[in-house]
Amino acid sequence: MTPLLEVIALGPADAEAAQAGGADRLELVAQMSADGLSPAPSVAAAVVAATDLPVRAMLRTTADFAAGPDLLGLADELLATGVAGLVFGFLDDSGEIDVATCERVAERMQGRPWTFHRAIDHARDTDRAWADVLDLPGVDAVLTAGSPVGVREGWVNLVKRDPSRVLAGGGLTADVVPTLLDAGIRAFHVGSTAREGGSWTSPVCASAVGRWRALLR
């Protein structure tokens, strides 16, 4: 199976460049200065119109991993734009998975798949967190670096997880990809390394995406 390549997009131009470079899926976010918050529904609609790729929109309204206000209404608005799914995941005050909130959002998905995002890397007990997340309805990917500080430090933890659920991302670099592929991981997520000069202030670059596509073939 050819590995899946997911690219972070901030708007329609990013989506078009990612598709031209060979991406398989987009994660649509806003405000990378806060490590990725929800996009405006109007932006989500524009991105869906600009690309043939499946788009998963971030559902996150605060810079931490707590459940923010108005999540269910925002989830409905984003889903109404035609996105293929959402990206979300919340921790409670004790650092455990906020199962109740995640279940409430998952109920709005109406069968669409979703990604649990990197909140899992910040959970107090990651083994328990994984067990909780994999029991949630509809989740088909867990965006994880295996560590709060990134894949280069966390790859040893990634290879212990169910490879069919791991979406490896968070400081992903080319040198760790062969090890992750050997462990059976077949889904990869890139952000700044798909952009001109590796900067969030620059747009997605089709040739940079193409290099990742070639590596994953």
pLDDT in tens, 32-60: 988 899 999 999 999 999 999 999 999 99
Judge whether 113 and 137 are in contact, CB under 8 Å: no
Count CB atoms within 10 A of the CB of residue 105. Answer: 22
| 191 pLDDT tier (thresholds 50, 70, 90) | very high
- Residues 56 and 78: their CA atoms lie apart, in Å, by 9
pLDDT value for 217: 85
Sequence-separated (6 or more) residues with CB below 8 Å from residue 124: 94, 95, 96
Q: What value does the mean pLDDT take over residues 178-198?
A: 96
Its sign, for the CA torsion 141, 116, 102, 54, is negative
Helix (H, G, I), strand (E, B) or coil at 82: coil
Mean of the pLDDT values across residues 67-89? 96
What is d(CA 151, CA 159) in angstroms, rounded to the nearest whole number?
A: 11
C-alpha neighbours within 13 Å on the C-beta side of residue 78: 32
Q: What is the mean pLDDT of the chain?
A: 96
Tell me, what's the pLDDT at 21?
98
Q: Once rounded to an integer, what is the mean pLDDT over residues 192-197?
A: 95
Q: Is the model's pLDDT at 193 over the cut of 90? A: yes
Q: Are strands 85-88 and 114-116 parallel, antiparallel or unpaired?
A: parallel
Whose tokens are 């991981």? That residue is: 185
Residue with tokens 């031209």: 20
- Has residue 93 got a pLDDT over 90? yes
**Can you give the pLDDT at residue 33?**
87
pLDDT tops 90 at residue 138: yes
| pLDDT at 69 exceeding the cut of 90 | no
The pair of structure tokens assigned to 179 is 């090890």
**Per-residue confidence band for 107, with pLDDT thresholds at 50, 70 and 90:** very high
Q: Is the pLDDT of residue 1 over 90?
A: no
Q: Partners of 188 in the beta sheet?
A: 5, 168
CA–CA separation, 8 vs 208, rounded Å? 13
**Helix ranges restricted to H, the chain:** 12-21, 41-50, 71-80, 99-107, 126-134, 151-158, 177-182, 206-216
